[in-house]
């Protein structure tokens, strides 16, 4: 069973320099406009690197 990362927009602080995004090996983080919460595209491998890098605990693996 494959996992996929999910970002809780209520916990995401929407920083331009997101440590979780930088930790993602597939560059799966995207957003519509600057200042909006990040979301994760289908290219996510479910590796959990972003989960470990997010200091806001806004990311869950489902």
pLDDT at 1 over 80: no
- For 38-55, how does the pLDDT look when each residue is reduced to its tens digit (9 = 90+)? 999 999 999 999 999 999
CATH topology of domain 5-61: Alpha-Beta Plaits (3.30.70)
Angle at 24 between CA 35 and CA 16, to 5 degrees: 20
* Mean pLDDT estimate for the chain: 93
pTM (2 d.p.): 0.86
Yes or no: say if 31 and 37 are a contact pair by the CB < 8 Å rule: yes
pLDDT score at 46: 95
pLDDT score at 9: 92
- For 2-33, how does the pLDDT look when each residue is reduced to its tens digit (9 = 90+)? 899 999 999 999 888 999 999 999 999 999 88
Domain boundaries in the chain? 5-61
Other Cβ atoms closer than 10 A to 57? 9
């Amino acid at each position: 069973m494959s996992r996929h990362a999910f970002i809780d927009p209520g916990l995401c602080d929407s920083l331009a320099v997101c440590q979780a995004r930088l930790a993602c090996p597939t560059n799966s983080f995207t957003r519509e406009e600057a200042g909006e919460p990040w979301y994760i595209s289908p290219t996510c491998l479910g590796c959990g690197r972003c989960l470990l890098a997010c200091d806001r605990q806004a990311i869950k693996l489902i």
